[in-house]
A and B are shown apart, each in its own frame.
Chain A
Amino acid sequence: MPELLKVTNLTKNFPVEKNILDVLLAGRKRNFIHAVDDVSFSIREGEVLGLAGESGSGKSTTGRLILRLLEPTGGSVYYRGKDMISIRRKEMEALRSKIQIVFQDPNSSLSPRMSVGEAIEHPLKIHNMGTKGERKEKVLDLMEKIGLTPASFLYRKYPHQLSGGQSQRVVLARALITSPDFIVADEPIAMADVSVRALILELMKKLKAEFNLTYLFITHDLATAKYLCDRVAIMYLGRIVEIGTKDELFGNPHHPYTKALLAAVPVPDPKRRRIEEMPKGEIPSAMEPPSGCHFHPRCLRAMLKCSKKKPGMREVSPGHFSACFLDE
């Protein structure tokens, strides 16, 4: 399959605002939060790549950088070979009909003053697609496909009149209305109730097949990543520590952080209670990340050099990369 998206050495630093007196008088340097630090990966057409990690790992920021909702500090993003960072704003805006994003909380992604129909139609208006009649027809047609039925009845409803599952469907429909081929899904089920999650996941699978979609699926839940994704990348403090196919990553994890994450996932089976020891402490601040391998202060197998040098990505088996000195 051809490559749809390629990300190389993507970096994003957020300046931390400091007191102006500190900067001018004391000459202190401005601090930066290193949210995304030299991230590279690619996604083939029709693939689902999972981007998993704990809060603060930079996975959502990466998603936003790809759509240029945030301007990267460095690195490149190529969509079908086209460099999206250097193109002009206008061109980028046109491209957004092909690349869409679905956010975590459907309620804050929907305007309370727009009816369901208006919200889903809105992207078509922005991109000047079709006449008024054609647009309405397209919206109703998509609503049927996405399970927002009866469509003509829900068309006039407002977000507060919808259930949680319905609002997430509206957000999905709005993302799909311009016929994109690439969707960044940023924790689309995290806010949903348990029984709604399964519905959304099954729907996303169905839509992928029906519309030939490619997903970047951002999640903190590895069980969901395993269920939906073809390949998974694990992020820690702005860096990808391990990336590989689902079978490789879950069946043969290499990085100690991946292993810890996998062991920590609670399994709904009391006969399989966890016995592994957990890493110490919590994810440190991205303002002053640890030296060398970011994970070394918590790693149960840390060695001396882990604190001195940043481990590079190494291919541990075909298509499976891990950034750890243990694999040397």
Chain B
Amino acid sequence: MNKPILEINNLYIDYPISIGTVHAVEDVSLILNRGEVLGLVGESGCGKSTLGLSLLKLIRPPGKVSGGEILYKGKDVLKMSGSEMLNFRGQNIAMVFQNPLTSLNPLFKVKDQFLETIHYHKPEIKQEEAIRMSENILEDLGIDKERMHEYPHKLSGGMRQRIMIGLGLIMQPDILVADEPTTSLDVIVEAGFIDLLNRLRKRFNLTIILITHNLGLVAEIADRVAVMYGGRIMEIGSADNIFSDPLHPYTFGLINCIPNIELEQKELITMPGNPPDLVNPPDGCRFAPRCPRVMDICKKEVPEVRMYKGRKIACRLYE
């Protein structure tokens, strides 16, 4: 297999707050292969968005990466200087956020937002060429090029989200980090958006990290799935493996606690309790206090991530 395009090794991210330190991401290791879609799933507060931001070095102080490395084609992103990062973002990795209306500038027409991005990265590109580039990408996104002359408020939610993707892709990055890109969209528009991502991925040989709490969405598009809980990786495996045979009790709970329209369910799996306090996380496995299959050792030692049945898993049940 080819060398991974992105490699995260033992990453730690902390946010100091008045009553202590929030350990938002702890000892996370992940690899991303070229051309694949990785679904990064978990509930709110599990560290998935923080992890996404760190790939573009966008963690806001006082939050900081306190350990580990992020290697993009072998080069440590965390060691890049501020000016290197400005080009790295957009040309190598781009990010699409949840709410397109707060990410687009309301005072600029769509066209100007594209031109600004292009000219920032490549000042030598001529105006007409830049306009043509923007028109081409809008066509790929299925948006009429006349829409370039509109302000963001005139566009529908789905269209704004596609413009965001367009702005992310205009400089042809290898990796797209999409953080809950469809949360503000209706279900039919969401389905169209997933079709679009699938098309773009083939067209540009894109590598996509899809950060979401929606497992249905992940099942639609992801090749591999990483499940996070309490800042740690619980299970990583191929989408087929994870959905057909979830091994980690948290993964199992997460998949079976949502109503599935294809099934006749009599009862849903419930996971009593609350997500862990990340300032004073429980000793041992983060999930132990809510785990239906908890053992004594789970409450004492943090389980290591190990290979088991073709996947990586952090659970004492599989050692």
Contact = CB atoms under 8 A, between A and B. Distances in A.
Interface of A: 54-55, 163, 165, 193-195, 197-199, 201-202, 220-224, 226-228, 250, 260-274, 278-279, 281-283
Interface string B256-283: 0111111001011111101100000000
A267 B216 contact: yes
Interface of B: 43-44, 156-159, 186-192, 194-195, 213-220, 222, 239-240, 243-244, 253-255, 257-262, 265, 267-272, 274-275
A198 B187 contact: no
Given A264-B187, A268-B243, A199 B269 contact: no
Contacts of B217: 266
Nearest to B218: A268
Given A223-B259, A267-B262, A195 B243 contact: no
B261 A226 contact: yes
9 contacts: A194-B215, A195-B271, A198-B271, A223-B260, A227-B268, A265-B187, A278-B191, A282-B156, A282-B188
B220 A274 contact: yes
A269 B220 CA distance: 8
A73 B156 CA distance: 28
A269 B254 CA distance: 13
Given A202-B268, A269-B219, A163 B254 contact: no
Contacts of B190: 264, 266
A264 B156 CA distance: 19
Given A195-B43, A220-B186, A268-B219, A262 B261 contact: yes
Given A195-B257, A265-B216, A270-B243, A201 B262 contact: no
A254 B187 CA distance: 19
Contact of B268 (A198, A220, A273): A198
B269 A283 contact: no
Contact of B44 (A193, A267, A278): A193
B257 A54 contact: no
B213 A194 contact: yes
A73 B26 CA distance: 56
B160 to A, nearest CB: 11
A209 B274 CA distance: 26
Residue among A264, A269, A281 with the most chain B CB within 10 A?
A: A269
Residue among B213, B258, B274 with the most chain A CB within 10 A?
A: B258
A266 B156 contact: no
A267 B261 contact: yes
Contact of B188 (A197, A202, A261): A261
B219 A198 contact: no
Contacts of B253: 195
A86 B284 CA distance: 63
Contact of A194 (B159, B219, B220, B257): B257
B195 A278 contact: yes
A266 B220 contact: yes
A279 B267 CA distance: 33
Given A264-B187, A283-B186, 4 more contacts: A195-B254, A228-B259, A250-B261, A266-B220
Contact of A165 (B195, B255, B268, B274): B274
A104 to B, nearest CB: 14
Contacts of B156: 281-282
Nearest to B43: A193
A272 B260 CA distance: 12
Contact of A271 (B157, B240, B275): B240
Given A201-B268, A267-B261, A55 B219 contact: no
Nearest to A228: B259
A198 B43 contact: no
A267 B260 contact: yes
Contacts of B275: 193
Contacts of A281: 156
Contacts of B213: 193-194
B258 A194 contact: yes
Nearest to A250: B261
Contact of B191 (A55, A202, A274): A274
A194 B188 CA distance: 21
Contacts of A201: 259, 268
A217 to B, nearest CB: 12
A163 B239 CA distance: 31
Given A222-B261, A227-B265, A265-B261, A54 B219 contact: no
B258 A223 contact: yes
A273 B222 CA distance: 11
A272 B220 CA distance: 8
A264 B191 contact: yes
B188 A260 contact: yes
A268 B43 contact: no
Nearest to B261: A223
Nearest to B157: A282
